[in-house]
Structure 1
Amino acid sequence: MKSYDVIIIGSGPAAMAAAFPLAEANKKVAVIEGKRFGGTCPNFGCDPKKILYTRSEAVWQAQKLTGTGVSGEIEFNWEDAMQEKNCYTESVYSDIEQSMKDSGIDTYVGYATFIGEETIQVNDQHMKADYFIIATGLTPSDLPFSGSDQLLTHEDFLHLSALPATIAFIGAGYISFEFAHLAARAGVDVHIIDAGDRPLKAFDQDHVHELVKQSEQLGITFHWNASIQSVTANGDQYVIKTEEETVTVNKVVHGAGRKPNIAKLNLDQAGVETGEGGIIVDNTLRSVSNPKVYAAGDVSSTQSLPLTPLSGQEGGLVVKNILNDKKQELDQGAMPSVVFTIPKLARVGYTKEELDKQQVAYDLHDVEMTEWLTYTMIKEDKALGKVYIDQKTNQVLGAEFLTVYADQWVNYFSTAIQLGLKTDALSSVHFTYPSVLGDSSNLI
């Protein structure tokens, strides 16, 4: 039986943030991966999605400026964009595995199963360790209707060499909106079917309503309050039956949420307590029931957003807590979040609902930026921003945006929030003009 100082299960951002520093600290480390090294983000998540998105955004911009000095036919070609995406994804996982091997980390392909509190099995091998880090991320949630097993996952969607004529996305969250925009801009007839009537719940609903409006103008059809009864294959089509209607499409994609990916780990054999949010951990990310086990990233019960930078931060925290006697607690601060549609939807810090619930005294700067030079130059349909300022401290509490430049804005305000900068300090900073941030004084 092989023995290690630390065995890491999973190989995404949280795992990588732990594996390399532990190896540098002369710990004997093994990383176990069931699919592709690197996890979701570089293989079938944020990175390949952004490669496709960048091309769709370029086409949108060219089409918006056609007749104003830009001419010629241009379209978003899915097949060509996928070839470019594949150039990245076809080697990224092997590059990541090789980099681990070069650092002295042992790698295993297979699914880990606990057979004791300090022992696991991978394929036909048994291993033990002083510590385990579980960083297996999320997997699609179970859906309560017949035929749900026939749905494509987000991984499947990002492996489609060609898009169908019609496609439906189940659920109205990040995955559905982002992929629906990609498909619609490639000429597909797109449907989003949701059991409720409030999409993208974590974001400002005024901005969400505008995004839905622009999505409808793009050609996306929304089906609200639609409880799906069944999905049935019929040749090259799928028939989706809800309580109110029947929708027939060529492909159906699961975009209705994800759950902690722990089913195959046999955690009860390790004495690891779990809940609906995943592995139950304390503020140091250590299992509350097995001190040999840590959980980092989306698989833990920390309630943090399922974002790559936060997972990496958690992986780094676990390293510190394994190497040092003095334990450090998780403190993630404000983290910007973006929905990569056109326009982008973004937020950082507190929302209006959260501030009102906490009865915080704040000033709301609710600004429409559509007529500003930055946005008239690119012919953006509508650009919206909201910034919340603490009345007592003049510090930024939160910011929300709907514009193709939303990611730049939330990064700017994320810096302000995390560093505790006051509005007068922000106003004193000079930016180039004309530019996106060159207009920042108009928001604070």
Structure 2
Amino acid sequence: MKYDYDLLVIGAGSGGVRAARIAAGYGKRVAICEGDKVGGTCVIRGCVPKKLFVYASQYSKMFKAAKTFGWDIQSQFNWPELLQNKDAEINRLNGIYLNLLANAGVELIRGFGTFVDAHNIKIAEKTYSAERILIATGGSPTVPDIPGKEHVITSNEALDLPQLPASITINGGGYIAVEFACIFNALGVKVNLVYRGPQILRTFDSEIAAFAQQSFIDAGINVFTDTSISAVEKTEAGLVCKSNQADITSDVVFFATGRQANTERLNLTKVGIATQANGQVVVDEEQRTSLEHVFAVGDVSNQDNLTPVAIREGHYLVDRLYAGGEQYPDYDFIPTTVFCQPEIGTCGLTEDEARAQHANIKTYTSTFRAMKYAMSDVNEKTLMKIVVNEDTDQVLGMHVCGADGGEMIQGFGVALKQGLTKTQLNSTIGIHPTSAEEFVTL
């Protein structure tokens, strides 16, 4: 049978775009469909605009410390200007993605894709056939079905609020919740951070998470733990969050309580593609779904919802399909960052994970005030932690909560991936004066 395309990719986010470009480079007939801007969650409504907001919010701390370094700065924040410049940058990146696809010879089809049958996809009232199909539709934030959910925003809307609120209640304890809590707090908004469990950032090292939580409290964020919001009511005083602890009132209520895979429109049940309860597509180690010729990469199919993971999955998949590639993504020692303030950088096992897997674990920690704040009244501190298997001397995890934590952990992540030992770490000469040198002197 002759198909319209060798490969049709549904979803033009980071993973889908990479897969499409590489496949076209191998001389394949490739199309990609997208019903929104090309670039996906990360570029359009995720990590890129959020990081721009993080940069904007960090200036308040820099201005606070500036006087001790001889700078007398008078500053005033302009929220609409930030939004305007953010949108301009997103449009620029969208244009780059469009050029990447065009230059690679990938046909862009505007519209959302829906399975008609195993090899045919309907896009904007027209049907296209493909020998192989790749699902790369990503995920979206969800709001639980509670009374008043219509008054709640998610991270999508938080990036485009028409005006900066005086107060905001953020429900959630994961990285999205704490990142936005720190952003709005640093911009002068009264922030309530509400989490149903006893400790925010529960999937991170518990010592790092506790340190971060206390840092948020010290910075002025109202942290409510063991608190579950059951309803949101609109009143003259504002939006009131009803909870098991107390009513919490604010101008805006923002839920960061989970994400769901974007599979609802795909009509997967019609063609027998299996999904999980959260809509994620079930795949094997080949990224293959329950249909032999249909694959899935990125947030739509796995738990490591990270842009570099989606890119790697898409690239390796296409290499295996069309170029005899033999590489598979390795999900161990994936460095990651929470762009809160102070910033968290982490790679490898937490202390609890390490103790569950190995008999003899030793940890090394250091808490200090970074030199950049030493002369100012900015009291933010840094915590560094190393987790070591004493039986093998291998470093199983490295964690930092402090300024530039992500930049630090990226480099150390390379060493961890290669089996770094504590002896090797100790033999490395540090760069002085830096915060990162503490890792090689612990």
CA 201–180 in structure 1, closer or farther in 2 if over 3 Å, else same = same
2:239 and 2:252 in contact (8 A); partners too: yes
1:142, distance to aligned residue in structure 2 (A): 4.2
2:38 is matched with 37
AA partner of residue 416 (structure 2): I
2:182 is matched with 181
1:280 is matched with 282
2:139 is matched with 138
CA deviations over 1:72-128 (Å, ceiling 9, x no partner): 333554333333322201332233123312321111222111111111111201011
2:428 and 2:440 in contact (8 A); partners too: no
Range that drifts further, 1-10 or 266-275: 1-10
2:169 and 2:252 in contact (8 A); partners too: yes
1:2, distance to aligned residue in structure 2 (A): 7.1
Please provide the CA RMSD for this pair. 2.3
In the alignment, is residue 376 of structure 1 matched against residue 374 of structure 2? Answer: yes
* Superposition TM-score, scaled by structure 1 size: 0.92
1:5 is matched with 6
Range that drifts further, 177-186 or 65-74: 65-74
CA 398–239 in structure 1, closer or farther in 2 if over 3 Å, else same = same
In the alignment, is residue 163 of structure 1 matched against residue 161 of structure 2? Answer: no
1:325, distance to aligned residue in structure 2 (A): 5.4
Equivalent-residue separation in structure 1 for 2:214 and 2:76 (angstroms): 22
In the alignment, is residue 125 of structure 1 matched against residue 126 of structure 2? Answer: yes
2:314 is matched with 315
CA 438–357 in structure 1, closer or farther in 2 if over 3 Å, else same = closer
CA deviations over 1:256-309 (Å, ceiling 9, x no partner): 11121111111112221111361111111111x1011111011114x3x21111
CA deviations over 1:169-227 (Å, ceiling 9, x no partner): 12121111111111111111111222222211111222222222222233222232222
Q: Which runs of 4+ in 1 moved over 6 A?
A: none
Equivalent-residue separation in structure 1 for 2:248 and 2:423 (angstroms): 54
CA 231–296 in structure 1, closer or farther in 2 if over 3 Å, else same = same
1:366 is matched with 365
1:406 is matched with 405
Identical pairs, percent: 28
CA deviations over 1:319-369 (Å, ceiling 9, x no partner): 122214576443233111111111112211000111111134222112223
2:426 and 2:441 in contact (8 A); partners too: no
1:75 and 1:186 in contact (8 A); partners too: no
Range that drifts further, 66-75 or 253-262: 66-75
In the alignment, is residue 86 of structure 1 matched against residue 87 of structure 2? Answer: yes
2:20 and 2:30 in contact (8 A); partners too: yes
SS in 2 for 1:279: coil
CA 426–366 in structure 1, closer or farther in 2 if over 3 Å, else same = closer
1:385 is matched with 384
SS in 2 for 1:70: coil
CA 319–360 in structure 1, closer or farther in 2 if over 3 Å, else same = farther
In structure 1, runs of 5+ residues without a counterpart are: none
Equivalent-residue separation in structure 1 for 2:117 and 2:237 (angstroms): 47
Equivalent-residue separation in structure 2 for 1:373 and 1:217 (angstroms): 19
SS in 1 for 2:140: strand
CA 163–400 in structure 1, closer or farther in 2 if over 3 Å, else same = same
AA partner of residue 376 (structure 1): A
CA deviations over 1:19-71 (Å, ceiling 9, x no partner): 11111111111111122100011111111111121232233123134334232
1:399 and 1:410 in contact (8 A); partners too: yes
1:374 and 1:436 in contact (8 A); partners too: no
2:313 and 2:328 in contact (8 A); partners too: no
In structure 2, runs of 5+ residues without a counterpart are: none
AA partner of residue 388 (structure 1): V
Equivalent-residue separation in structure 1 for 2:375 and 2:105 (angstroms): 52
1:284 and 1:327 in contact (8 A); partners too: no
1:48 and 1:85 in contact (8 A); partners too: yes
1:373, distance to aligned residue in structure 2 (A): 4.7
Aligned length: 439
